[in-house]
Structure 1
Amino acid sequence: MPAVTERSDVKGRSVIERLSQFVSFYEDDLSGGLLLAVSGGSDSLALLYAFASLPDVIKSAMRVSTVDHGLRPEARAEAEMVGDVCNRLDIPHDILTLKWDDAASVSQAQARRARYAALAANARAHGLAAIATGHTYDDQLETVFIREGAGSGLYGLAGMADVAPLPVWPEGYDLSLVRPLLTAGRHDLREFLKSFGAEWVEDPSNTNTAFERVRVRNLLSDNPDEVKRLERVLGHAISQRISDTDQMTGWAAQHVDFLVGGAAEFDVPAFLKLEPALRLRFLMALLTAVGGKEALPRQEKAGALIDLSGCEAGRTLHGCRLQVRDGVCLVAPEPVPLADVLSLEPQSSEVWKGRTLLTRADNCGGQSLIASWETREVPRSLDRGSLPRYDIRHSLPVILNDAGEVTEVPHLEDGASVCPRDLSQARFYKLLQFKAQFFATETRQRESFS
């Protein structure tokens, strides 16, 4: 674990030294290999040069991708420039090209989602488990300022984590997003690049004041007092969020059980003893994981359920149904339409309803037809007396024959032609966690406000 250092010392240390400490700190998260997302701008290019300066054992499990988003004529040339740099550094590089029916109508949010989805697919194709971006300390403060203006609570004001779930689902299953440069300022990174004689791309959108982040960047660049205030806000929020995360993760390990198909149940009396803010965060993470949704539910909607009022008769939210019985709350996926059928090809995998990874390993026969069990008949091969209760089993994926009859229930049968792996539990804990300990330690903000 890196030693606690004063902020002035942090800013004065080399980019490579700090990156090396980040890699050591999060060794387990990076052990599955790393994809660097490099656009050609100064921040991501500094990320590339810094990683290229680390030992070969790290470089051997690393590659670079540049997304040609197709929204500016220069995008392809910029991606090829990154490819030239990677060639000189002897690091494999891919250009990922996005296609749009109408590029002029694409929003920033749509482009961002498509970019992360393309990076996720590329990382998975090469067996890499994490994607690194060049977010900086400047980005962190800008994010906090914007969230504060939007009325974010304490959790939002904790800013970006060092390691986080990828912000696309289900494309991002089993992948992490890492931000190794969060303790580095943009000016420091540009000075670092100059030491290599490197040139970077200046994206015109970075000076377009039509975008809120550009306006915030300009404001903070001329206002050191506001920067110091934001640092105090961030320090307090990040310390509290890390503390809450540690408490909630430990609590969930004791009081939450995950069931077949990705459903979950938790102890109601223990839940009601938690502070309301912790109950809210717990429910938001659990509903998102069990429901297979990409985004968290709206806080006001989840907040209406923190006392579990009305759940004895059953309540629905965010793709889930909650029901309290005998001191236990069951959170199970909502029903799926009977007509909703997935075709799974041989030697392929698909995520069913954002909850279960289904894999066909065989190389023979046609498609497997996957549907939700719902009210369909129970196959004769199953023991009816040992089936899960209907609230749990109705959403399990089953295999149908051409007549629409259930032939297999992969979750309940050994040796089924399709192998299921529920994703809800792992995703729940990722959503609950807030891995910002390196950032907090390096900047002394956690220690100053704990």
Structure 2
Amino acid sequence: MTDQADTLRSELRARLPDRLPPRLGVAVSGGGDSVALLHLLHDITQTEQTRLFAATVNHGLRPEAAAEADQVAELATRLGIAHETLLWQGWDGAGNLQDQARQARYRLLTDWARRNDIPAIALGHTADDQAETVLMRLGRAAGVSGLSGMPDARDQNGVTLLRPMLGITRQDLRDYLSGLGEGWIEDPSNHDQKFDRIKAREALTGLGALGISAQSLARVAENLAQAREALARYTQESARKCATVDGGDVYIDRNSFGLLPMEIQRRLVVGIIAWIAGQGYPPRGTAVDQAATAVREGQTLTLAGCLLIPHKDKMWFCRELNAVATETAAPQEVWDDRWVLTGPRAAGAEIRALGQAGLPQVPEWRALGKPRQALLSSPAVWSGQNLLAAPLADYSNGWSVDFAPHRAEFYSSLLSH
């Protein structure tokens, strides 16, 4: 048991940053993978200057969820780890349940981390999860990025998400917990054949005769991840030559764009959209191909909350007005998850999109040389129906606008999406 535990700790530590942050979060559902992660990280952080914090997301979808979260809280208390249960509320029943729950889970976890000054969260994904992801993406005819699976680390909402167990199998973790005499919770949805991931899990069990296992597919993903990194760096170099940031928008030279390899064109489109609209699941391949074609041919297009606008020999990427039309925030609060506006005290001031009503109130906006639609979605300061300021439209009136601290600079963001 000692040798197995040492091996698991060594494998896990090798995938973590060389220097752990002073405060590290860990997401614990109560399942075998995350419970093992909690124990292993507890052991590792005993000899490092790092304090561990745990969080459990209760999606409220099963009556047992609250009691399961309490079990995790009891385990964390036993290990001397601070724990918080995060409750998902407000789902209206629209959209794909699994996708909505996944997005909510990451949003709740990253909000919790930022609230508690925790720069990174460890997640319990295993080699089996990676293999299942690769199989599902094979079914969707994914390219290099898709088949490289889940990355060891990525940024989301200003928090680094770490997956240090992608080289460890689910069975090894359960054997480790059994050796500790530690139990875990089995989620009944892990056997529900209506979910694609469970179908992939079942399919994987029948591929052993071909030498295809969770570990071999996880290694394939790692190999492709190296190719993905090389392509990302090529994309970044290409962006520096043909893409320009203007406020919160990006415009690219269409002629230079057309000379890039198709794969780099697609990656640049995805990277720009992710920077403007926020990190999330990227548009499907067909939609990205349509966007690349629109850039080359100078066609207007709406995609994933962004608007592509041809303007002379340039293509502008900007926020779509409909995506922010109902967004509001107080001064000094984050608006559209990327802007913070500060300025003189004004009664009833709030941040809203400049919009159709605001643009006519901005003197000389045409002198900026930007497409009209790009300015409509920019942040502005309002008091009722009175426009007080629109800093990105060169109408500041003492107000300034800055990117939210968690938003990366554009060119560096191309290495992280």
> TM-score scaled by structure 1?
0.77
Residue in 1 aligned with 2:260? 274
How far is the alpha carbon of 1:222 from its aligned partner?
4.7
- The answer for the alignment partner of 2:240 in structure 1 is 253
Cα shift readout 1:196-243 (whole Å, capped 9, x = no counterpart)? 332111112222333332233233235322525746753553343222
Structure 2 residue aligned with 1:409: 390
| Counterpart Cα distance in 2 of 1:89 and 1:406 | 55
Quick one: distance in 2 between partners of 1:370 and 1:104? 26
Amino acid at match of 1:238: A
Match of 1:181 among 165, 178, 184: 165
| Change over 3 Å in CA distance of 1:408–1:263 after alignment to 2 | same
Query: Counterparts of 1:97 and 1:372 in 2: how far apart (Å)?
Result: 34
Cα pair 2:344 2:398 within 8 Å, conserved? no
Kindly state the Cα deviation for residue 37 of structure 1 after the two structures are TM-superposed: 0.8
1:282 partner SS: helix
Which of 315, 320, 330 aligns to 1:329? It is 315
CA spacing shift, 1:189–1:197, aligned 2, 3 Å: same
Equivalent residue runs for 1:33-432 within 5 Å: 33-56=23-46, 60-99=50-89, 107-166=97-156, 173-224=157-208, 225-227=210-212, 230=217, 233-234=220-221, 237-260=224-247, 262-292=248-278, 294-307=280-293, 308-311=295-298, 314-318=300-304, 319-326=306-313, 328-336=314-322, 340=325, 342-345=327-330, 349-352=333-336, 354=337, 356-358=338-340, 365-374=347-356, 376-378=359-361, 387=368, 389-391=370-372, 392-402=374-384, 404-411=385-392, 412=394, 416=398, 419-421=401-403, 426=408, 432=414
Shift of the 246–420 alpha-carbon distance from structure 1 to 2, 3 Å rule, reads closer
CA distance in 2 between partners of 1:424 and 1:65 (Å): 21
Contact 1:71/1:104 (8 A) holds in 2: no
Tell me if structure 1 keeps the 8 A contact 2:330–2:351.
no
**Structure 1, 301-310 or 64-73: larger mean CA deviation:** 301-310
In structure 2, give the amino acid aligned to 1:184: I
Deviations 1:8-31 (A, max 9, x none): xxx996121222222234x4xx64
Q: How far is 1:291 from its partner?
A: 4.2
Q: Kindly state the Cα deviation for residue 341 of structure 1 after the two structures are TM-superposed.
A: 5.4
The letter of the residue matching 2:270 is M
CA distance in 1, matches of 2:92, 2:396: 48
Cα distance in 2, alignment partners of residues 337 and 118 from structure 1:
21
Aligned residue pair count: 406
Structure 1 residues 388 and 87, CA gap change in structure 2 (3 angstroms) = farther
C-alpha separation in 2, matches of 1:180 and 1:199: 21
Where structure 1 has 5 or more consecutive residues not aligned to the other structure, the ranges are: 1-10, 167-172, 436-450
Secondary structure of residue in 2 paired with 1:141: helix
Contact 1:163/1:178 (8 A) holds in 2: yes
SS in 1 for 2:17: helix
CA distance in 1, matches of 2:413, 2:211: 31
- The answer for the alignment partner of 1:446 in structure 2 is none
Task: Name the structure, 1 or 2, with higher relative contact order (CA <8 Å, separation 6+).
Answer: 1
Instruction: Answer whether contact 1:345 1:367 (CA < 8 A) is retained.
Output: yes
1:309–1:24 CA distance, 2 compared to 1 (3 A): closer
Corresponding residue SS for 2:194: coil
Distance 1:388 1:294, change over 3 A: farther
Instruction: Give the Å deviation of 1:332.
Output: 2.6
CA contact (8 A) 1:161 1:434 kept: no
Is this contact kept in 1: 2:362–2:395, CA < 8 A? no
Secondary structure of the residue aligned to 1:320 is strand
Q: 1:293 to 1:322 in 2, by over 3 A?
A: farther
- Is the 1:373–1:395 contact (alpha carbons within 8 Å) kept by the matching residues of 2? yes
Q: Identity, % of aligned pairs?
A: 27
The worse-fitting range, judged by mean Cα deviation, of 66-75 and 215-224 is 215-224
Residue ranges of structure 2 left out of the alignment (5+ in a row): none
Q: Which moved more, 1:404-413 or 1:147-156?
A: 404-413
- Cα offset for 1:100? 5.8
1:58–1:367 distance in 2 versus 1, CA, 3 Å: farther
Q: In 2, are the aligned partners of 1:314 and 1:321 still within 8 Å (CA)? A: yes
**Which residue number in structure 2 is paired with residue 6 of structure 1?**
none
Q: Cα gap change, 1:359/1:80 in structure 2, threshold over 3 Å: closer, same or farther?
A: farther
What amino acid does structure 1 have at the position aligned with 2:126? T
Give CA deviations for 1:245-303 in whole Å, capped at 9, x if unaligned: 2221232234322111x101233343222211121121122134334584423322321
Deviation at 1:59, TM superposition (A): 6.6
**Distance (whole Å) between structure 2 residues aligned to residue 234 and residue 265 of structure 1:** 33
Q: Does 1:23 align with 2:16?
A: yes
SS of 2:60's partner is coil
Whole-angstrom distance in 2 between the partners of 1:289 and 1:361: 25
Does the Cα contact within 8 Å between 2:167 and 2:218 map onto a contact in 1?
A: no
Query: What's the Cα RMSD here?
Result: 3.6
| Distance in 2, Cα, partners of 1:211 & 1:227 | 22
